[in-house]
Amino acid sequence: MAVLGIDIGGSGIKGAPVDVETGEFLEPRYRIPTPAPGDSEQVIEVIRRIVEHFGWQDKIGAGFPGVVRRGVVETAANVSLDWVGKNLAAMIEDATGCPAVVLNDADAAGLAEMRFGSGKQFEEDTVLFLTIGTGIGSAFFVKRELWPNSELGHLQVRGKDAEHRAGDGVRQEKDLTWKKWGKKLREVLQVYDFLFNPDVIIIGGGVSKKFKKFGKYLKNINAEILPAELLNEAGIVGAALAAEESIIID
């Protein structure tokens, strides 16, 4: 079964048709830079172009960087606040004529990683999945069930949002070594570990492919720490899964 997955981000919007039985892309990913300031009309136009690129006429799943309930955006991170209160699912359907399901982007990536990646081996555990890019996104799973819209990147760690302390954007902006940045990330993970006691923490997002460079500094954490396997494909795959299985967050 093929579903078009779309991952909406602050810097780029990307999509691909996904075989939801295997998690594999059926065509090469198509990416368009997110127009500034990333308001609803601009993003919907990009989504329409992605749908047109693939000649798509069936189900669409989309991950959005913010809290999403029943297709409605409640918060917006790294895109315009114009989104708050908009029904993104309905807007996609109106623009494309295709049925759409929308959820938080980290929740989407977590669904994919739990189905096809590092999380597939954990049936009875509590798993915290993190997408670390410019910011930090999070998805919680208890016995494989998703606790949606956790948004732990905004949890305060010593007076700062966790993502402003240890997001990859901080590493790049301050030109931190992997060792220095790894120690900042360790501090954030220690807080998550203390508050939520997960059995496993999976590190996803763009930095996951560099795990060997910083993973050795993630010490004194009770949870098992693993790198994600799906890298930057997870958001697209998980969004497609959510649409195929009609996972609508209440």
96 backbone φψ class: left, alpha, beta (φ>0; ψ -120 to 50): alpha
Contacts of 143 (CB under 8 A, 6+ apart): 123, 124, 125, 126
C-alpha to C-alpha distances, 34 to 68, 141, 148, 250, nearest whole angstrom: 19, 30, 25, 27
The pLDDT score that the predictor gives to residue 123 is: 94
Whether the pLDDT of residue 249 is over 80: the answer is: no
Containing 131, the helix (H) or strand (E) segment is strand 126-132
> What mean pLDDT do residues 43-57 have?
98
In this structure, are residues 119 and 134 in contact, taking their beta carbons and an 8 Å threshold?
no
Encode pLDDT of 68-100 as tens digits: 999 999 999 778 999 999 999 999 999 999 999
The pLDDT score that the predictor gives to residue 124 is: 95
Which residue ranges form the domains of the chain, and what is each CATH number? 2-107+233-244 (3.30.420.40), 120-229 (3.30.420.40)
Contacts of 136 (CB under 8 A, 6+ apart): 130, 152, 153, 162, 163, 166, 167, 188
Encode pLDDT of 25-43 as tens digits: 999 999 999 999 999 999 9
The pLDDT score that the predictor gives to residue 10 is: 85
% of the chain surpassing 70 pLDDT: 100
Encode pLDDT of 155-164 as tens digits: 999 999 999 9
C-alpha to C-alpha distances, 194 to 188, 220, 238, nearest whole angstrom: 10, 11, 28
Contacts of 7 (CB under 8 A, 6+ apart): 13, 14, 15, 62, 63, 105, 108, 109, 235, 236, 239
> What mean pLDDT do residues 106-117 have?
98
The pLDDT score that the predictor gives to residue 136 is: 95
Encode pLDDT of 209-220 as tens digits: 999 999 999 999
C-alpha to C-alpha distances, 63 to 29, 105, 183, 202, nearest whole angstrom: 15, 4, 30, 19
The pLDDT score that the predictor gives to residue 158 is: 93
